[in-house]
Amino acid sequence: MNNARYLDVANEPKKMLNPISGYEKQPLVSLEKAVKPLEDMFEDLLTRAWIAKQNCQNPADGLTQDESASIHLYTMESIFYQRLNEALRNENRGDLIPWFAYLKLFLTALWKLPSTKQTLWRGIKADISDQFSIGTKFVWWGVSSCTESLQILQNDQYLGKTGTRTLFNVECQNGKPIKSHSQYESENEILLMPASYFEVVGKADAGNSLHIIHVKEIQSPVLLLKPPVTDAQVATETTGVNLAIGSEGKTGHSAASVWKTWPSQLKAKFVLPNKHSSHKVDPTILTPKQIQMLKATTNFSEEQIREWHAGFLRDCPNGELSKDRFINVYQQFYPGGKAHKFCTYAFTSFDRDNNGKIDFTEFMFAIALTQSGDLDDRLALAFDMYDYNNTGTIDTAKMRKIISAMYDLIGETDRKGDRDPKHRAEEIMRICDITGDKKLTKEEFVAGCKNDPVIRRLLVPNA
């Protein structure tokens, strides 16, 4: 077991280094090819890479065998992880170049793992507490190994219970559990990504030469680690994948302009999450099941979905978007009229679990409604949004509310006579209600909007 990984805090540089970048431009290759440039640095490296792959033939978490094996290799070879962290912590960024192919594979694997938000532990057999005053902000440039079990660190093979020690209580936001890919599964090791940014929020002298420092992972004001993805449609110079939804325009990139970079084709049939689902999940975690669903209902690759999720968390660290922030963003897609009522209505529709917040999956569906693409798919999604109580139909009362909101959206002030929302609703029902039951099914709604451009422009203005 490589206990030294948990105890190398003192090796972190005290100065601010240049960001970690360049590796993300490398193609994803096999583990054997990824470590080939490093072969001269290590004895039997290709043999160890082969062993790692043999131990990762059925990888968990949706990782490929090579991705899983890149993590396994990191945990099985102490000199390997030490040299990697030396390069990450080196002021000379040129030392990272031989590592680029491996970093691309390794960080892609970590990026794909679900993130965990919890209290972790790591330490060092020395007193370095004077370097960490409350309020101090700092970077751990290396890959930081932590454990969720304080008992493991108290083992004499790790930090122990005697002697001079500094114990870090780490309140992490984006920990990566690697148990399923590690050579030492029993350690429950959790990695923090390179260039993680922290603030000291507390410290204590616990007696018996033990010093405890409480640190909290926070968002860096600048991008210190380029994501291991190349299709950065929404990248900005300061925050990388940034949805610009929390800054109220302060970044200089409006939400509307940023989101115009979304792919134009959204061709699959959209199915909204169950509005009354009682299943509770951590909103900051993107699960394999969510990824599978989003891949099936949009034309995004897994890499793009993870990129958008990372950007969403940058602006919404708790993984949720409040009603006010959602409305502030969503109405930017409809600058021609008074969109507040429609966006409020949209929020209610997409808040499928009625918790007063929009999570990442719900938000992806909401944004999809504003995009160009297959008309049938867009109209089907519009129906799902308008069917806010999940009955599977739209009746005259619902239609009247929809039209009132759409009038506000397009700036229509004349609502008398033929333009009265009630009259319009009845007219639309007359045209679209094929079965005559005074309710529109999804099929009737889609067909009616396709066949009548006036109705389509009113109910789905971006279609």
Is residue 278's pLDDT more than 50? no
Q: Say if 260 falls within a structural domain.
A: no
Q: Say if 264 falls within a structural domain.
A: no
Considering 180, 201, 227, which residue would you say is the last residue of a domain? Answer: 227
Q: Say if 236 falls within a structural domain.
A: no
pLDDT for the residue numbered 408 = 73
Helix 45-54 with 65-76: angle, nearest 10 deg: 120
Distances (CA, A) of 368 to 243, 280, 289: 15, 24, 19
Among 64-68, 122-126, 185-189, 334-338, the range scoring the smallest mean pLDDT is 334-338
Q: Say if 81 falls within a structural domain.
A: yes
Q: What is the mean pLDDT of the chain?
A: 77
Distances (CA, A) of 447 to 78, 179, 181, 257: 63, 51, 50, 31
Is residue 315's pLDDT more than 80? no
Is the four-CA dihedral 345, 350, 352, 353 of positive or negative sign?
negative
* Between 330 and 427, residue with greater pLDDT: 427
The domain tally of the chain equals 2
Residue 96: name the closest of 87, 86, 85 by CA: 87
Residues 183, 319, single domain; the answer is no
Over residues 360-377, mean pLDDT: 66
Among 122-131, 164-173, 189-198, the range scoring the smallest mean pLDDT is 122-131
pLDDT bin (cut points 50, 70, 90) of residue 53 is very high
Residues 36, 172, single domain; the answer is yes
pLDDT for the residue numbered 19 = 94
Q: Say if 232 falls within a structural domain.
A: no
Considering 179, 195, 227, which residue would you say is the last residue of a domain? Answer: 227
Residue 122: name the closest of 171, 72, 71, 194 by CA: 171
pLDDT bin (cut points 50, 70, 90) of residue 352 is low
Among 35-49, 105-119, 271-285, 403-417, the range scoring the smallest mean pLDDT is 271-285
Residues 423, 334, single domain; the answer is yes
**How far is Cα 446 from Cα 448, in angstroms, rounded to an integer?**
6
pLDDT bin (cut points 50, 70, 90) of residue 281 is low
**How far is Cα 369 from Cα 348, in angstroms, rounded to an integer?**
15
The secondary element (H helix, E strand) that includes residue 408 is helix 396-410
Q: Say if 163 falls within a structural domain.
A: yes
Is residue 448's pLDDT more than 60? yes
Q: Residues 247-266: pLDDT tens digits?
A: 333 333 333 333 333 333 22
Residues 223, 325, single domain; the answer is no
Residues 112, 13, single domain; the answer is yes
Over residues 324-340, mean pLDDT: 68
Residues 307, 393, single domain; the answer is yes
pLDDT for the residue numbered 157 = 56
Is residue 320's pLDDT more than 60? yes
**How far is Cα 36 from Cα 49, in angstroms, rounded to an integer?**
10
Residues 160, 28, single domain; the answer is yes
3-class DSSP state for residue 249? Answer: coil
pLDDT for the residue numbered 363 = 76
Residues 292, 223, single domain; the answer is no
CATH number at residue 449: 1.10.238.10
pLDDT for the residue numbered 374 = 60
Residues 441, 294, single domain; the answer is yes
Site of tokens 């970079």: 261
Tell me the backbone φ, ψ of residue 198, rounded to 5 degrees: -135, 160
Is residue 336's pLDDT more than 70? no
CA 429 to chain CA mean position, Å: 41
SS3 content of the chain, % helix, strand, coil (to 5): 45, 15, 40
* Between 34 and 377, residue with greater pLDDT: 34
3-class DSSP state for residue 188? Answer: coil
Q: Residues 144-156: pLDDT tens digits?
A: 988 886 666 566 5
Residues 42, 182, single domain; the answer is yes
Over residues 28-38, mean pLDDT: 95
Q: Say if 334 falls within a structural domain.
A: yes
Over residues 450-458, mean pLDDT: 66
Is residue 140's pLDDT more than 90? yes
Considering 177, 207, 227, which residue would you say is the last residue of a domain? Answer: 227
Among 62-66, 109-113, 174-178, 294-298, the range scoring the smallest mean pLDDT is 294-298
Over residues 298-315, mean pLDDT: 78
Residues 219, 298, single domain; the answer is no
Residue 158: name the closest of 139, 173, 145 by CA: 145
Over residues 76-82, mean pLDDT: 84
Is residue 212's pLDDT more than 60? yes
Amino acid found at 407: Y
pLDDT for the residue numbered 328 = 76
Is residue 282's pLDDT more than 70? yes
Over residues 16-33, mean pLDDT: 93
Over residues 113-118, mean pLDDT: 87
Cβ atoms of residues 12 and 140 within 8 Å:
yes
pLDDT for the residue numbered 114 = 85
pLDDT for the residue numbered 256 = 32
Residues 220, 330, single domain; the answer is no
pLDDT bin (cut points 50, 70, 90) of residue 43 is confident
CATH number at residue 189: 3.90.176.10
pLDDT for the residue numbered 32 = 96
pLDDT for the residue numbered 106 = 96
Is residue 446's pLDDT more than 70? yes
Is residue 449's pLDDT more than 90? no
Q: Say if 269 falls within a structural domain.
A: no
pLDDT bin (cut points 50, 70, 90) of residue 206 is confident
Residue 379: name the closest of 446, 306, 448, 282 by CA: 446
Q: Residues 358-367: pLDDT tens digits?
A: 888 877 766 6
pLDDT for the residue numbered 94 = 93
pLDDT bin (cut points 50, 70, 90) of residue 375 is low
Helix 65-76 with 78-88: angle, nearest 10 deg: 100
Is residue 406's pLDDT more than 80? no
Is residue 221's pLDDT more than 90? no
Q: Which string of DSSP letters, residue by residue, matches 38-106?
A: GGGGSTTHHHHHHHHHHTTSS-STT--HHHHHHHHHHHH-HHHHHHHHHHHT-S-GGGGGGGHHHHHHH
| Residue 442 belongs to domain spanning | 288-459
**How far is Cα 37 from Cα 100, in angstroms, rounded to an integer?**
9
Is residue 30's pLDDT more than 90? yes
Q: In this prediction, what percent of the chain has a pLDDT beyond 90?
A: 27
